Amino acid sequence: MNKNNNVSTIIIATIIIVAVSFLIWGGSKNKTSAPVVDQHGMSVAANISAASLDDLVNKSAPDFALADKDGKLYSLNELRGKNIILFFNEGLMCYPACWNQIVALDKDEIFKNTDTVILSVVVDPPEEWQKAIEQMPELAEATVVFDKDAAISKRFNMLTTASSMHYGSLPGHTFVLINKEGIIKHIFDDPNMSIHNDQLVAEISKL
């Protein structure tokens, strides 16, 4: 009888240990998978990304030289003396939002007489961009430049923004305004993928 009681006790103890271990493991898993937020409920990762962008404002823009689909090169050095808007975006995979933003930047008359060059920066291969033009012919008129291996996007901290849906590998939806002296004066990261031409012109007017 004592032997049976001992066996029962061991079985019950084992079940209790397994159950407690499972609860501890489950709680630990949920704790580590939950996003870290600040006192306002905002993602700490998003705040760090925003801070890295803010660090660029009022500093010299990282050097860049990017070519369009026809091979024409646009460089920071050659564009000195003009305002520059760089629109870093997801390119081909971002239909229709990014495409609409690119076309709106190119066609909007409010940028006339602002002495501003607008470059939409994508990481797609140039030869594949023709597919987008065939689907939306207005894209052919926009100045789209190709960031091979996302090298320039990395220099501008564009791969870790709050708007990036492919964090660490692709830009999201970020506008960078550079003044005529090559200084970054405004950065706007937009997870909502909206058109902000009025806001950009307002920032240009402050230069």
Domain of 21 in residue numbering reads as 1-34
The whole-number average pLDDT for the span 121-146 is 96
Q: Are residues 79 and 30 in the same domain?
A: no
Residue 57 in contact with residue 42, Cβ under 8 Å? no
Q: Which amino acid is at 75?
A: S
Confidence of residue 29 (pLDDT cuts 50, 70, 90): very low
Residues of the chain with pLDDT > 70, as a percent, come to 75
> What is the per-residue pLDDT across 71-115, written as a single tens digit (0 to 9) for each?
999 999 999 999 999 999 999 999 999 999 999 999 999 998 999
> What is the per-residue pLDDT across 137-179, written as a single tens digit (0 to 9) for each?
999 999 999 999 999 999 999 999 999 888 888 999 999 999 9
Task: Compute the distance between CA of residue 14 and CA of residue 26 in angstroms, rounded to an integer.
Answer: 18
Q: Are residues 83 and 62 in the same domain?
A: yes
In-domain check, residue 69? yes
The CATH number covering residue 198 comes to: 3.40.30.10
Confidence of residue 45 (pLDDT cuts 50, 70, 90): very low
Strand partners, 84: 117, 178
- Burial per residue of 91-122, b for 16 or more beta-carbon CB atoms within 10 angstroms, e otherwise: bbebeebbbbbbbbbbeeeebeebebbbbbbb
Q: Are residues 153 and 172 in the same domain?
A: yes
Identify the burial level of 154 via C-beta atoms within 10 angstroms of its C-beta, where 0-12 means exposed, 13-18 middle and 19 or more buried. Answer: middle
Q: Are residues 102 and 136 in the same domain?
A: yes
Q: Are residues 114 and 134 in the same domain?
A: yes
Q: Are residues 197 and 130 in the same domain?
A: yes
In-domain check, residue 123? yes
Radius of gyration of the chain (CA): 25
Q: Quote the number of domains for the chain.
A: 2
Residue of 144, 149, 142, 154 lying closest to 91 (CA atoms): 144
Q: Are residues 107 and 18 in the same domain?
A: no
Query: Is the CA virtual torsion 100, 177, 160, 63 positive or negative?
Result: positive
pLDDT of residue 32: 39
Mean pLDDT is highest, among 41-50, 156-165, 176-185, for: 176-185
Q: Are residues 78 and 175 in the same domain?
A: yes
Q: Are residues 150 and 124 in the same domain?
A: yes
pLDDT of residue 52: 80
